[in-house]
A = this chain, B = another copy of it.
Amino acid sequence: MIEIGIVGASGYTGGELIRLLANHSQAEVTVATSRKLAGQPIHKVHPHLQNSDLKFESVKPEDMEADLVFTATPHGASMNIVPPLVGKGIKVIDLSGDYRFDDINVYEKWYGLKHEHPLGAVYGLPEIYREEIKKADLVANPGCFPTGAILASLPLVAENLVDRVIVDAKTGVSGAGVKPSETTMYTNVADNVIPYLVTNHRHAPEIQEKLSKFGDVTVHFTPHLVPVIRGILSTVHAFPLEDVTSSYVKELYDNYYKGEPFVNVLDVGEIPRLSSVRGSNYCHIGIFEQDENGRLVIGSSIDNMVKGASGQAIHNMNIMYAFKETESLEYLGLHP
């Protein structure tokens, strides 16, 4: 049984880590930090976790005792927390954007911050970097939008079938985090669809950097906030350099994701539903016929807090420790 610490456990991704790890047979959360809520039982902010005895604690990185720590902290904060943990020999999976970029200049430009403590890290998308993750001490857990967008686009890019993808994404509100704001008020979200950071969201360069390693491709990205609690539906509009049949594309994706425990390539024309993956670590990929004018559409659905954050982080942990990859991630989607 390994001991797990969660830094920043009062947010949604912290709650998800605790929820999912509750049934893990080889890992146990022993420390859940929150400076503001130190001393309070976690069910005061995570009302679904009534049976846990955990209380929030205020623990400095240098004083942390654990085998592995998930840093569920905002970008800018992680860069100061991760290095001392790594320095102590603790394995770290960071859920922020701080260690995701190879090119530190891209990070600094898009996050508007100077990176004080760069470190080598493995990008924690198991479908691409499983072998590297096995040996990693620091994993940078992918962004939620990049997870859905990359999984939907990668086989096309790797096959050099396309040189441009337009990702029109629709996200649930939990992606904005636990802190109230005008943006996430019920009255502003319900019965609305809200494009935001329309041409300048910082997940665009993350998708671009990762896909570029597999092919020459230009990425365009626009997110929308939709009246959904959890889930990201990514609609990828692509223009194959030569016409392709849907059965060819289906076979391409089937082969690409063969053996992957959490990727389901659906039958041609089947819809990747958010409800089909709700609360689970699955990614569903939908494949559609080209339109009359040559456009190909691929869709993917994930739960932004599970495959898009905490579930993928646990998947990474399982790989790092050679646990069964699906351990504590057996939850199926909650449909309806």
* A224-B233 Cα distance, complex, nearest whole Å: 10
A173 at the interface (CB under 8 A from B): yes
Chain B residue contacts of A266, Cβ below 8 A? 50
- A166 in contact with B295 (CB, 8 Å): yes
Chain B residue contacts of A190, Cβ below 8 A? 173, 186, 190-191, 227, 229
- B231 in contact with A191 (CB, 8 Å): yes
CB distance from A32 to the nearest CB of B (A): 15
A169-195, CB < 8 A from B: 170, 172-174, 178, 180-182, 184-195
A130 at the interface (CB under 8 A from B): no
CB distance from A281 to the nearest CB of B (A): 12
Q: Label chain A's interface by main secondary structure.
A: loop
- A195 in contact with B286 (CB, 8 Å): yes
- B220 in contact with A193 (CB, 8 Å): no
A48 at the interface (CB under 8 A from B): yes
A33 at the interface (CB under 8 A from B): no
A290 at the interface (CB under 8 A from B): yes
Instruction: Select from chain B the residue with minimum beta-carbon distance to A287.
Output: B198
A49 at the interface (CB under 8 A from B): yes
Instruction: Select from chain B the residue with minimum beta-carbon distance to A279.
Output: B334
A284-298, CB < 8 A from B: 284, 286, 288-293, 295, 297
Instruction: Select from chain B the residue with minimum beta-carbon distance to A225.
Output: B186
- A193 in contact with B231 (CB, 8 Å): yes
* A200-B184 Cα distance, complex, nearest whole Å: 28
Within the complex, which residue of B230, B237, B297 is in contact with A191, where a contact is CB–CB below 8 Å?
A: B230
* A292-B182 Cα distance, complex, nearest whole Å: 28
* A220-B292 Cα distance, complex, nearest whole Å: 9
Chain B residue contacts of A323, Cβ below 8 A? none
* A198-B295 Cα distance, complex, nearest whole Å: 11
A332 at the interface (CB under 8 A from B): yes
Between A and B, 25 residue pairs with Cβ closer than 8 Å are A12-B187, A19-B334, A47-B271, A48-B277, A48-B333, A50-B276, A50-B282, A173-B185, A173-B187, A173-B190, A184-B187, A185-B185, A186-B189, A191-B278, A193-B226, A193-B233, A195-B233, A195-B235, A196-B271, A198-B299, A199-B288, A204-B291, A221-B291, A226-B226, A230-B334
- B336 in contact with A174 (CB, 8 Å): yes
Instruction: Select from chain B the residue with minimum beta-carbon distance to A305.
Output: B336
Instruction: Select from chain B the residue with minimum beta-carbon distance to A190.
Output: B229
Chain B residue contacts of A288, Cβ below 8 A? 195, 198-199
A198-B297, A199-B289, A330-B23 known; A47-B275 Cβ under 8 A: yes
